[in-house]
């Protein structure tokens, strides 16, 4: 069930950027700051907001990416590492009189929260202990994959593509389960191994530091980090213009397409600017892309270790590890393949639990009387329905509500947590109140309704413009609505098929059947 959440949320995370764009309202029209004026504007920002000197971003295509041109974040006391729940976001722009205007903004963090669910298998915070829990699941997952394949290999080879459609529904589900599991095995092994690495990478580094590098691992890892230059200026207004920095990046990597400049420590001797971008022809080292680090004052190239297409051999090996997990190679075809494989993986874990429960049912007696099914089987059935469909319903409602929350201009990470977990625990409670069979039908229809609410929310912006809602028309963002509609139809069809199975199947001694009259016998 934890792996269902990881795979379902992970499939959506493949398109994290379009989801963020979908949930972000159109920018209020404002005059763009010319790139030549950026150094002086950054200097003014840092003078009035010193905390921005630590890390501040210049987005090169703010309208395309539905974001502010100049932004920075302030981390709360509870923040740290991957946890972004306490971040506050600020932006800067110039008014018609060229006066600096800084405001707190509320970018759509719904995709970030979905990513957190993926990282820590449904737990609310992306912390070390929660990642360790995810790592334990990854270990068990790997053992199950390998041992299951070895044990069942003779049977799978014989019956892999033997779909027995005329047999019992359980056999059809088992056949489909086996085909999906075996054909996607390489993908699952990649996910399991890389997830283990992400969960324990700090502990692995610590062990390497003590056993191999004699306490010098940090120095080795950061040997290419920018060296302090006490003689250089620390006045941001004297920095090179973004055009000059971008020209340097273009000269080194002609096919590299930048989208953001991230300035770090620009009032210190360690000043650096990371130019983030993508290269369709190279392995991308991280999910947001890759970067080249340059000194913003001297223009000296500080590092190309994370620049796609320019990485040294050892960095390509590490980047491949990330790329295989995040689908940051091969362009759109690979991303869509990962999306489909992720959803198929979620379906695999869901059907696995359904089959496990069905295999443990107590069959009716020869005289037709029904056994009362074991309590642990009933509990597992209700948990499977509540947790799996609770995750689906929670994510769908969270996405559908994100635009409505943004109308208040204060849709924060915490709001999305409340929407998701209230829905999630409500569905679990409902699955126990109504029982696994009835709640399975009802929650599938609920998932269809909440998922179709995503494109309906966008359509309302056209039908009733006075709502203040919006609909972005670029293809990548429109695909969020299109895919949500297709998935809603899929949930609806599953709900209809499940209704027939629950209320009209000839197999009445199953946890997945419901006959009020017979239950009283």
Q: Which helix (H) or strand (E) holds 375?
A: helix 375-406
Taking CA atoms, 295 is separated from 3, 51, 262, 273, in Å, by 43, 20, 12, 6
Instruction: Look at residue 444 in the predicted model and tell me its pLDDT.
Output: 97
Reported as a single tens digit per residue, the pLDDT across 307-341 is: 998 888 878 888 888 899 999 988 899 999 999 99
Provide CB contacts within 8 A for 82, sequence distance 6+: 116, 119, 126
Q: Would you say residue 490 has pLDDT above 90?
A: yes
SS (HEC) of 489-507:
HHHHHHHHHHHHHHHHCCC
Q: Residue 82 — pLDDT band, cuts 50, 70, 90?
A: low
Q: Residue 157 — pLDDT band, cuts 50, 70, 90?
A: low
User: What phi and psi, each to the nearest 5 degrees, are found at residue 99?
Assistant: -85, 145
- C-alpha 290/C-alpha 277 separation (Å) is 6
Reported as a single tens digit per residue, the pLDDT across 256-273 is: 999 999 999 999 998 999
Q: Residue 287 — pLDDT band, cuts 50, 70, 90?
A: confident
- C-alpha 351/C-alpha 171 separation (Å) is 12
The DSSP output letter for 83 is B
Reported as a single tens digit per residue, the pLDDT across 439-484 is: 999 999 999 999 999 999 999 999 999 998 999 988 989 999 999 9
- C-alpha 468/C-alpha 464 separation (Å) is 8
Reported as a single tens digit per residue, the pLDDT across 362-371 is: 655 555 555 5
Instruction: Look at residue 285 in the predicted model and tell me its pLDDT.
Output: 87
Question: Is the pTM value of this prediction over 0.75?
Answer: yes
> Quick one: what percent of the chain has pLDDT higher than 70?
87
Instruction: Look at residue 409 in the predicted model and tell me its pLDDT.
Output: 65
Q: Residue 26 — pLDDT band, cuts 50, 70, 90?
A: confident
What average pLDDT does range 497-521 have in this prediction?
72
Among the ranges given (14-18, 24-28, 133-137, 397-401), the one the predictor scored with the smallest mean pLDDT? 24-28
Listed as own residue / partner, the contacts of 197-203 with beta carbons closer than 8 Å and 24 or more positions apart are 197/321, 198/119, 198/131, 198/135, 198/325, 199/131, 199/132, 199/134, 199/135, 199/138, 200/132, 200/135, 202/128
Instruction: Look at residue 255 in the predicted model and tell me its pLDDT.
Output: 93
Q: Residue 520 — pLDDT band, cuts 50, 70, 90?
A: very low
Confirm if 72 and 55 have CB atoms less than 8 A apart.
yes
Among the ranges given (73-77, 149-153, 197-201, 203-207), the one the predictor scored with the smallest mean pLDDT? 149-153
Reported as a single tens digit per residue, the pLDDT across 139-153 is: 888 888 777 777 766
Instruction: Look at residue 521 in the predicted model and tell me its pLDDT.
Output: 35
């Amino acid at each position: 069930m934890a792996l269902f959440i990881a795979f379902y949320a992970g499939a959506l995370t493949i398109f994290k950027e379009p989801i963020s764009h979908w949930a972000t309202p159109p920018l209020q029209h404002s005059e763009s700051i010319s790139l030549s004026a950026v150094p002086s504007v950054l200097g003014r920002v840092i003078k009035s907001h010193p905390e921005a000197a630590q890390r501040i971003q210049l987005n090169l295509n703010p309208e395309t990416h539905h974001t502010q041109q100049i932004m920075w974040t302030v981390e709360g006391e509870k923040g740290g590492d991957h946890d972004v729940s306490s971040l506050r976001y600020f932006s800067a722009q110039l008014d018609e009189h060229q006066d600096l205007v800084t405001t707190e903004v509320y970018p759509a963090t719904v995709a970030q929260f979905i990513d957190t669910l993926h990282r820590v298998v449904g737990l609310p915070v992306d912390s070390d202990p929660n990642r360790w829990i995810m790592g334990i699941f990854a270990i068990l997952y790997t053992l199950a994959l390998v041992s299951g394949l070895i044990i069942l290999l003779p049977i799978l080879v014989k019956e892999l593509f033997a779909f027995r459609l005329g047999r019992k529904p359980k056999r059809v589900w088992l056949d489909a389960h086996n085909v999906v599991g075996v054909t996607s095995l390489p993908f699952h092994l990649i996910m399991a191994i890389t997830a283990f690495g992400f969960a324990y990478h700090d502990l692995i580094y610590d062990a390497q530091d003590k056993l191999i590098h004699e306490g010098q691992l940090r120095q080795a890892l950061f040997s290419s980090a920018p060296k302090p230059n006490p003689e250089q200026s620390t006045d941001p207004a004297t920095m090179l213009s973004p055009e000059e920095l971008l020209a340097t990046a273009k000269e080194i990597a002609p096919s590299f397409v930048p989208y953001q400049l991230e300035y770090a420590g620009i009032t210190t001797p360690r000043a650096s600017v990371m130019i983030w971008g993508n290269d369709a022809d190279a392995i991308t080292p991280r999910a947001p892309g890759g970067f080249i680090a340059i000194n913003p004052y001297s223009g000296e190239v500080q590092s190309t270790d994370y620049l796609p297409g320019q990485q040294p051999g050892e960095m390509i090996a590490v980047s491949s590890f990330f790329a295989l997990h995040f689908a940051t190679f091969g362009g759109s075809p690979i991303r869509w393949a990962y999306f489909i494989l992720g959803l198929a993986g979620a379906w695999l874990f869901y059907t696995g639990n359904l089959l496990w429960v069905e295999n443990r049912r107590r069959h009716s007696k020869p005289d037709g009387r029904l056994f009362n099914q074991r309590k642990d089987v009933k509990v597992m059935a209700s948990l499977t329905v509540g947790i799996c469909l609770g995750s689906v319903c929670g994510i769908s409602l969270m996405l559908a509500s994100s635009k409505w929350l943004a109308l208040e201009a204060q849709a924060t990470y915490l709001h999305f947590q409340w929407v998701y977990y209230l829905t999630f625990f409500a569905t679990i409670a409902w699955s126990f109140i109504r029982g696994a069979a009835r709640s399975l039908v009802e929650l599938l229809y609920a998932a269809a309704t909440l998922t179709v609410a995503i494109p309906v929310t966008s359509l309302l912006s056209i039908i009733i413009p006075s709502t203040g809602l919006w609909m972005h028309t670029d293809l990548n963002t429109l695909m969020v609505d299109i895919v949500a509609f297709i998935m809603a139809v899929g949930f609806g069809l599953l709900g209809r098929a499940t209704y027939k199975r629950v209320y009209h199947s000839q197999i009445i001694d199953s946890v997945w059947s419901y006959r009020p009259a017979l239950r009283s016998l």
